[in-house]
Amino acid sequence: MNLKSNFLCKCGGLLYTDFKTNSEYCLNKNCENHKDIERIYNKKGDVEERFKRIKESLRLKSKLFSSNFINFLFDQQNYFFSKIYGGEGAPINGLLIICYIIFLVKDIKFVGRDSRPKSFMNFLRSQHEPLNNYLFYQDIKEENIILVDLPGRTNVPLKLKYLTEINKQKNNYGMISDIHSETNFRYDNIDLEKIDKKVFKIGMELDEYFIQFFPEMMKIDMLTKSNQEFSKLFERRGFTKYEVGALLSLFFSSPVLIDLSKIKKKEFIKTLKQMEFNDIQIENLFKFLIGDSDQIPLAIVTDEEIIYGKWTSLAMVMKYLGTLPERPLIVEGKRVASKVFEGKIRDILRTRGYLVPFNQEIQLHKDEDGYDVIAIDKTKKKINIIEAKYRDLPSSAFSALNLLNLKIYGKEFGEIEIAKKQISRKEQLEQNKDILEAKLSKEGIKIDLKEYDIVPYVVFKFSPILSQFEIVKLISFDDVSNINF
Ligand SMILES: [Zn+2]
């Protein structure tokens, strides 16, 4: 296979970078890029044990608080989610840490009497560092970061080189570790350009209103799947639009924005019955809110009342509506946005002087793959055929353990598969230049394409892992403005 990549080693393994020196390393022992790595630390063992103790001690200490502590945690979680909706983005780690503490203490019988918010806050601050380390450890577990010994230096973290591109995608959805990063909300305008802004009216179809929020849905979904261990917390199986509708009704029935809201359980059940929930659906809803033993609760459900955060509820509406088994709105929203994306590529190429004759995808024959963008260079006698991939990396590929399988070799997202399709498009066009000539002449353009070369490209939102596969060049959207086609 003839391929080029800035992120892969010559041997095909993933490249890692030393934070400090920017030197690149390969983990494959027989490879020359393995260089002077003296030892690779075993990811599990002691570390796992140590974190077990940290988690246990966190539970024991929390026990000495009054039961108000759990309300305090929900309150904090709500605050973090409100930040995400403030458009400014929320620090990912802070939010994940709160969620994880809720998960750790959710079934504790609190025996203490200390109810002072100040004690709670101090405790929370004291847990930030160990849990932040725990988050860092997730990156080690998933092999995005590898600890090694180099000559004269021990415990040196090597970072997966492709992690910078993965982080650009996360930043794009407002999952922010650097508030000033340029890639924050990078594609907001493309996502929403063709989607009508609608005002919510009672009795309206949920999807009709919520489609405009699909980037929010992506964001929350990605946030709650930041790493493999944490992604289990918010996982719910087999939910329906009833559960989502009930969450939405919690959101709307809350008069307060920032503080936690309460609703009497009886009253809530009455509302649900008005929304035509039957008894089984109500029972399922409570299971959904509370979650299984390895999941985080979405609200505090006691015998008398339900205590919840308005913003947390809205975030969860977004998450579950976006991935609703019956009709996932994220898929629909992206389909619309990908057309806008193609349009932007055409606009840029026109400004750069290429002849871009069509405003939509064209097909040479029915039932064949179409051509997203065609950009002709008359001076160089080239027909650039460009496939636009407005697709995000699925969060399961955020780990070095899955990255190659999904992003390079995968059937759906795999760059090789995508490039191969582009090769067959080139071959098709090679034999059917006359059809293209005819289509051009319909647009009033007369060109003899006989001597023209066909050059295949694929454009992704962010840098792909491969930069070339056989004759296909794989580039990022930014490259469209810069490279020589
Ligand atoms: Zn190598």
Distance 8 CA to ligand 1 centre (A): 8
Decide if 274 is inside a domain: yes
Asked whether the ipTM of the predicted complex exceeds the cut of 0.90, the reply is yes
Which pLDDT band holds residue 178 (cuts at 50, 70, 90)?
A: very low
Residue at a domain's end among 290, 322, 354:
322
Q: Are 407 and 463 contacting, i.e. CB atoms less than 8 angstroms apart?
A: no
C-alpha triplet 209, 80, 121: angle, nearest 5°: 155
Task: State the total domains in the chain.
Answer: 2
Decide if 14 is inside a domain: no
Distance 43 CA to ligand 1 centre (A): 20
Distance 17 CA to ligand 1 centre (A): 13
The whole-number pLDDT of residue 179 equals 43
The whole-number pLDDT of residue 180 equals 45
Residue at a domain's end among 304, 322, 340:
322
Residue 425 sits in the same domain as residue 347 = yes
Please name the residues in contact with 346: beta carbons below 8 A apart, sequence gap of 6 or more.
356, 359, 373, 375
Residue 315 sits in the same domain as residue 336 = no
Distance 30 CA to ligand 1 centre (A): 8
**Phi and psi at residue 177, in whole multiples of 5°?**
-105, -25
Burial class (CB in 10 A: 0-12, 13-18, 19+), 257: exposed
pLDDT digits (tens, 9 = 90+) for 208-226: 677 777 777 888 888 888 8
Distance 11 CA to ligand 1 centre (A): 4
Residue 264 sits in the same domain as residue 382 = no
Residue 299 sits in the same domain as residue 228 = yes
Distance 389 CA to ligand 1 centre (A): 28
Residue 171 in this model has a pLDDT that exceeds 80: no
Average pLDDT over residues 152-174: 86
Q: Using CA atoms, how far apart are residues 485 and 356, in angstroms rounded to an integer?
A: 13
Distance 16 CA to ligand 1 centre (A): 10
Distance 13 CA to ligand 1 centre (A): 5
Average pLDDT over residues 181-185: 50
pLDDT: which is higher, 96 or 179 = 96
Residue 176 in this model has a pLDDT that exceeds 60: no
Residue 190 in this model has a pLDDT that exceeds 80: no
> Measuring CA to CA, which residue among 96, 75, 89, 78 is closest to residue 216?
89
pLDDT: which is higher, 135 or 196 = 135
> Measuring CA to CA, which residue among 289, 252, 249, 284 is closest to residue 270?
249
Distance 415 CA to ligand 1 centre (A): 20
Average pLDDT over residues 219-240: 86
Distance 182 CA to ligand 1 centre (A): 32
Decide if 75 is inside a domain: no
Among left, alpha and beta (phi > 0; psi -120 to 50; other), residue 155 is left
Q: What is the domain extent for residue 373? A: 329-482
pLDDT: which is higher, 342 or 206 = 342
Which pLDDT band holds residue 193 (cuts at 50, 70, 90)?
A: low
Distance 35 CA to ligand 1 centre (A): 10
The residues placing their C-beta within 5 Å of ligand 1, an ion, are 9, 11, 13, 26, 28, 31, 33
Distance 419 CA to ligand 1 centre (A): 23
Residue 196 sits in the same domain as residue 297 = yes
Residue 305 sits in the same domain as residue 379 = no
Residue 192 in this model has a pLDDT that exceeds 60: no
Decide if 141 is inside a domain: no
H or E element at residue 119: helix 117-141
Choose the weakest-confidence range: 32-46, 97-111, 290-304. Answer: 32-46
The whole-number pLDDT of residue 402 equals 93
The whole-number pLDDT of residue 27 equals 93
Q: Are 183 and 171 contacting, i.e. CB atoms less than 8 angstroms apart?
A: yes
Distance 12 CA to ligand 1 centre (A): 6
Distance 65 CA to ligand 1 centre (A): 52
pLDDT: which is higher, 121 or 86 = 121
Decide if 147 is inside a domain: no
Radius of gyration of the chain (CA): 26
399: number of CA atoms within 13 Å, CB side?
18
Decide if 176 is inside a domain: no
Residue at a domain's end among 322, 348, 371:
322
Choose the weakest-confidence range: 130-144, 169-183, 313-327, 388-402. Answer: 169-183
pLDDT: which is higher, 364 or 48 = 364
Distance 64 CA to ligand 1 centre (A): 52
DSSP string, 258-320: SS-EEEEHHHHHHHHHHTT--HHHHHHHHHHHH--TTS--SSEE-SSEEEE-HHHHHHHHHHH
| Terminal Cα distance for the chain, rounded | 23
Residue 289 sits in the same domain as residue 389 = no
Residue 285 sits in the same domain as residue 334 = no
pLDDT digits (tens, 9 = 90+) for 105-131: 999 999 999 999 999 999 999 999 999
Distance 226 CA to ligand 1 centre (A): 28
Decide if 413 is inside a domain: yes
Assign residue 474 the CATH number of its domain. Answer: 3.40.1350
Residue 226 sits in the same domain as residue 252 = yes
The whole-number pLDDT of residue 383 equals 98
Distance 461 CA to ligand 1 centre (A): 27
What is the pLDDT of the chain when averaged over all its residues? Answer: 88
Decide if 54 is inside a domain: no
Average pLDDT over residues 387-407: 89
The whole-number pLDDT of residue 175 equals 57
pLDDT digits (tens, 9 = 90+) for 340-367: 999 999 999 999 999 999 999 999 999 8
H or E element at residue 422: helix 415-431
Residue 399 sits in the same domain as residue 449 = yes
Residue 212 sits in the same domain as residue 333 = no
The whole-number pLDDT of residue 8 equals 97
The whole-number pLDDT of residue 90 equals 62
Residue 314 sits in the same domain as residue 209 = yes
The whole-number pLDDT of residue 87 equals 60
